[in-house]
Structure 1
Amino acid sequence: MTGLYPPHFETRLEKALDVLGMQSDHACIPVLLGYLQQLQRWNKAYNLTAIRDPEKMLVQHVFDSLAIVPVLRDRWPDRDLRVADMGSGAGLPGIILAICQPGWFVVCVDAVGKKTAFIRQAAGILGLKNVRAEHGRIESMDSLQADLVISRAFASLSDFVRVAAHHRAPGGAMMAMKGQDPVAERAALEIETGWFVKHAVELSVPEMDAHRCLLELETGPEGTS
């Protein structure tokens, strides 16, 4: 699969993994590039993402999703998780997590049929047996009972909680990937839902000069469930 892109793509992935402290994940590079190839191919016909340049896809989709892997590994060392990726779009970050964590089972949920069709096709081609795509409205689906409910550029924090909180298993976590720390959304979250930001991690995305963060959300005794 690595032959599908110029050699510098593989080199950049190696460097990105090293910067993230993921030196042991170099074996994932062919699969990551295979995902990128599938995304580029499908995007020409189905407009899965507004980013069409593979150079930008590598950084803004793949590197961005990889940046949360070390954080999640630190949070759950030596434990297999059931993950629900809400509003997954083209499988981000769900497919990237599944590639790096083969022991995790990842359910990618999206309301757009062509996007879940892509996830199924890509997972099949890449041999990712730990990925399932679910097409439907998040708020209307039965609980997925996930250890981790996560979203990336999906909705406001309040809306994320409203539509997805019931998918969290008892004792599980809800996390949202955001750009710059959303101060206004934090305030609205507490006022509107009774949830709050329990923990915030600033992310350093290789080759990206932009603020990124991962927010863990928790509910008070009267918050939305």
Structure 2
Amino acid sequence: MINTEEEARAFTARHCDVLAMERLALLAEELEKEAPLQNLVAKNSLPQKWVRHIADSVQLAGFAEVGASPWIDLGSGAGFPGLVIAAIRPQQSVILVESRAKRIEWLERMADKMGLSNCKVEGRRLELVETFEAGVISARAFAPLDKLLRLSARFSTSDTRWVLPKGRSASQEVEALPQSQRGMFHVEQSLTDPLAGIIVGQGKWSAAR
């Protein structure tokens, strides 16, 4: 389990190169500066931003192959996990979907400052994003699982990997799906919270299943 900022930095460093670490350090620095201007993340999480936001995002890469592009991050907000994935996987196309104006501006500014040429911000509601085939779909605090699946189903294929950090509600949200639909997903233990889980799955989701 990752408990301290030092452990979180060490974990992150094992999963990326020096340039990516510099980019993530810049993200952490800018997050602190932006905090008084808009509520990007919970204020009480800032002292542990490497644990709660950066390492928490880095761990998600372990559930999806590098070649699975594009990676679409729904409701990307402050850029977790989207900006982090784009930083540690520069060879992977990452699309950040966000509809709130201030968050869109933040994501675009940080993608530019971090030099993330592989990162694109879709500044609109998910319903208005043109359909494409996603290699990976992630979402952090975007919507309850059943709604998330309905909204993003059209982006999925038989090869799509779902990586959905759901905190302490992960198992309950999978159990709440109809029994015939649960088998597509399982829950992995989060490395940054002993009580949190990550919903992982693969395949095409059909709202009519």
Shorter-normalised TM range? 0.7 to 0.9
Which residue of structure 1 aligns with residue 62 of structure 2? Answer: 70
Which residue of structure 1 aligns with residue 90 of structure 2? Answer: 102
2:201 paired residue among 211, 216, 223: 216
Root-mean-square deviation (CA, aligned residues, Å) is 2.7
1:196 paired residue among 182, 185, 194: 182
Structure with greater strand percent = 1
Q: Partners in 2 of 1:151 and 1:212 — Cα distance?
A: 13
Q: Partners in 1 of 2:183 and 2:109 — Cα distance?
A: 35
Q: Secondary structure at the match of 1:171?
A: coil
Deviation at 1:28, TM superposition (A): 2.3
Deviation at 1:13, TM superposition (A): 4.2
Aligned residue pairs total 206
Gaps of 5+ in 1: 1-7
Which residue of structure 2 aligns with residue 43 of structure 1? Answer: 35
Which residue of structure 1 aligns with residue 191 of structure 2? Answer: 205
Contact map agreement 1:186 1:197 (CA 8 A) in 2: no
2:168 paired residue among 156, 159, 180: 180
Letter in 2 for 1:49: V
Contact map agreement 1:109 1:134 (CA 8 A) in 2: yes
Which residue of structure 2 aligns with residue 130 of structure 1? Answer: 118
Which residue of structure 2 aligns with residue 115 of structure 1? Answer: 103
Query: Deviations for 1:81-119, whole angstroms, at most 9, x for unmatched residues?
Result: 201100111111011111111011111111211111101
Q: Partners in 1 of 2:99 and 2:22 — Cα distance?
A: 29
What TM-score do the two structures reach when normalised by structure 2? 0.84
What TM-score do the two structures reach when normalised by structure 1? 0.78
Q: Partners in 1 of 2:53 and 2:183 — Cα distance?
A: 24
Given the superposition, is the C-alpha separation of residues 202 and 122 from structure 1 closer, same or farther in structure 2, using an over 3 Å criterion? same
Deviation at 1:33, TM superposition (A): 0.9
Structure whose CA Rg is larger: 1
Contact map agreement 2:135 2:159 (CA 8 A) in 1: yes
Give percent identity, aligned residues only: 22
Query: Deviations for 1:70-90, whole angstroms, at most 9, x for unmatched residues?
Result: 222xxx25x252011001111
Q: Partners in 2 of 1:178 and 1:151 — Cα distance?
A: 9
Given the superposition, is the C-alpha separation of residues 142 and 23 from structure 1 closer, same or farther in structure 2, using an over 3 Å criterion? closer
Gaps of 5+ in 2: none
